[in-house]
Amino acid sequence: MKNSRTDEWNLRVGSAAVASLRKANRFLGGLTAALALVALGILASKPLGPPGLILLWICVFLGFTYMIFGYPIGYIYYSLRGGREAALYIGLSHYSKRTRVPVAALKSPRAFDNFMVEEGIPPGPSYTPDPDPLAHALAEKMRQKRERALQKRQAR
């Protein structure tokens, strides 16, 4: 959801998905704060000497705990939730067996429009899609590949 206007995303994926994607991006900001906490602990404990070791260990523990557990769990949870909410908004289940929009398709409006073309979903009436020119060719190749796989399964 980088470098895009909120109203543009609201028209494409819905306001609930936009809110979830914003929450996911907040966890990315927390990652920067955790790195700063670790650096602060290292820099502040050096002039304090041995009594500063407890400060160092607290800062390193809190920073690494967030980096290892907090950030990945929160970011992945809200990213996947945003994908499910976007799928509900566009009615993805009517066109595909998918239950959520992939996270990669939620990175930019063009990536989302490419996903819509590949899945064969018509755009909403309130916005003008801007897919990559090669998206239609890729969608046709994917459709042919699915048909061949279906024919092989039926032949068995």
Please check whether residue 14 is in contact with residue 86, taking contact to mean a CB–CB distance below 8 angstroms: yes
> Does the pLDDT of residue 46 top 50, yes or no?
yes
> Does the pLDDT of residue 82 top 90, yes or no?
yes
What is the average pLDDT across 87-103? 89
Residue 122 has what pLDDT? 84
3-state DSSP of the chain = CCCCCHHHHHHHHCHHHHHHHHHHHHHHHHHHHHHHHHHHHHHHHHHHCHHHHHHHHHHHHHHHHHHHHHHHHHHHHHHHHHHHHHHHHHCHHHCCCCCCCCHHHHCCHHHHHHHHHHHCCCCCCCCCCCCCCCHHHHHHHHHHHHHHHHHHHHHC
Q: What percent of the chain has pLDDT over 70?
A: 96
Residue 5 has what pLDDT? 65
- Can you give the residue range of the structural domain that contains 87? 6-155
**pTM to 2 decimals?**
0.77
Residue 101 has what pLDDT? 92
| Segment 116-137, tens digit of pLDDT | 888 888 887 777 788 888 888 8
Domains held by the chain: number: 1
The answer as to whether 64 is a domain residue is yes
The answer as to whether 111 is a domain residue is yes
The answer as to whether 86 is a domain residue is yes
The answer as to whether 1 is a domain residue is no
Residue 148 has what pLDDT? 92
The answer as to whether 66 is a domain residue is yes
Mean residue pLDDT across the chain: 86
Please check whether residue 91 is in contact with residue 77, taking contact to mean a CB–CB distance below 8 angstroms: no
Contacts with 155 (C-beta within 8 Å, 6 or more apart), sequence order:
none
Q: How far is CA 68 from the centre of its chain?
A: 18
